[in-house]
Amino acid sequence: MRGLIVSMPSMINEVRNCLGDYSSSFDVTTELDSELSGYDVIGIVGTDRFIIMNLHKLNSWDGPILTIGFDLGFLNSVDLPNLNRAISAVVNGDYDIENILRLAVNIKGKRLPDVINEVAIFPMRSAITLEYSLYINDEYLWHDVADGLIVATPTGSTAYAMSVGGPLLHSRARVFEVVPVNSTNLARVPVVVPEDAVVRVRDIVSRSRVEVIIDGSVRSYVGNEIRVSAGKPLKLVRVGGVSSTIGRYERKVSLMANMDLPPSAKFILKILEYEGQLTQREIAEKTMLPSRTVRHAISVLMRRGLINRQVILRGGKEVVVYSLILTSR
């Protein structure tokens, strides 16, 4: 077996050490190459954001993918200390493949990177509403005015979608969900659709330019229509006989316990999950929330024990950063 592991630069030495006796069978790099035909498996080591960024680059890859994070996150196969054990299982064929639903997004015939978690449709300016019509399989469902709209996979149902009232979907359910965000009509509730459904958001109107945000990172402007359907599944390696739903149970319970958080605090939690350490100013820039709102949300999250505050060196200067407090199993 021949494998490739793409790692965050800061972790590459630790990855090489963890490989141990398997180092001769696995190439380690910090950048994915366009030529991957010589590999049987690809591993990605890093933060959630780093993993998702590289998964977007692997749209055409049809082989198994092993994801390794700092802890057992929503998408990770294993945590870093167990990398050697996971590689041993892969080499010996002692693993399962979980087909993770991804979503294909098309805007005016342009295909965007496949969605792992969610595609969010929002006006670029805050405090501006969005008007749209929703169609499922060309059947008109409703017209709505809301802050935005989220279309999420089962994996993404535990993230941003859940924070705005969407249901939890089992990771192996062959469905995805459409979740209005702060609709002006209480009848506009989340809708769960089968994976073979085609969702069209049409007649999009707003006083601000509207954009789609894929997995919190890839942004693209929207005209007046967007099409969302099931894409090619992600073949995620699972070791130890634990399904992703069971393996993520503790973090789901933790999230459910914090459903009464202010929307701004939930949003900041999501941003920190994707981005890693951020300063208060960086949080404000990425969320486009007012500084006062960011300060209040940070204080709430600190009191709940969900984030921590650290002083680190950047460019020779001390800066204060905030990051998620990772739970262990």
Query: Under 8 Å CB-to-CB from 117, ≥6 apart: which residues?
Result: 52, 152, 153, 155, 156, 159, 160, 215, 216
48-57 and 263-275 helices, crossing angle to 10°: 70
Q: What class has domain 103-230? A: mainly beta
* The residue count for the chain: 329
Q: What pLDDT is recorded for position 329?
A: 38
Stretch 252-278: mean pLDDT, rounded? 74
Dihedrals phi, psi of 4, to nearest 5 degrees = -125, 135
- pTM strictly above 0.85: no
Written as one letter, the residue type at 247 is G
Q: Does residue 317 carry a pLDDT above 80?
A: yes
Q: What pLDDT is recorded for position 250?
A: 53
CATH code reported for the domain at 258-324:
1.10.10.10
Q: Assess contact for 151 and 134: CB atoms under 8 A.
A: no
Query: Under 8 Å CB-to-CB from 285, ≥6 apart: which residues?
Result: none
Q: Assess contact for 224 and 210: CB atoms under 8 A.
A: no
First to last CA, the chain: 31
Q: What pLDDT is recorded for position 144?
A: 97
CATH code reported for the domain at 3-99+234-244:
3.40.50.10330
Break the chain into its structural domains and give their ranges: 3-99+234-244, 103-230, 258-324
3-state secondary structure (DSSP) of residue 69: strand
Written as one letter, the residue type at 120 is A
Cβ burial, residue 295 (10 Å; 0-12/13-18/19+): middle
- The counts of H helices and E strands in the chain are 9, 21
Q: What pLDDT is recorded for position 76?
A: 74
Q: Burial code of 134-172, b = ≥16 C-beta within 10 A, e = fewer?
A: bbeeeeebeebbbbbbbbbbbbbbbbbbbbbebebbebe
Q: Nearest CA to 114 among 6, 214, 236, 216? A: 214
Q: The tokens 């960086």 sit on which residue?
A: 282
Written as one letter, the residue type at 108 is K
79 is catalytic: no
Q: What confidence tens digit (pLDDT) does each residue in 62-116 have? A: 999 999 886 555 677 787 778 888 889 988 888 889 899 999 999 998 999 999 9
Written as one letter, the residue type at 129 is T
Confidence of residue 33 (pLDDT cuts 50, 70, 90): confident
Confidence of residue 208 (pLDDT cuts 50, 70, 90): very high
Write out the H or E segment, with its range, that includes residue 269.
helix 263-275
Q: What confidence tens digit (pLDDT) does each residue in 302-311 have? A: 888 888 888 8
- Tell me which of 48, 144, 147, 215 is the catalytic residue: 48
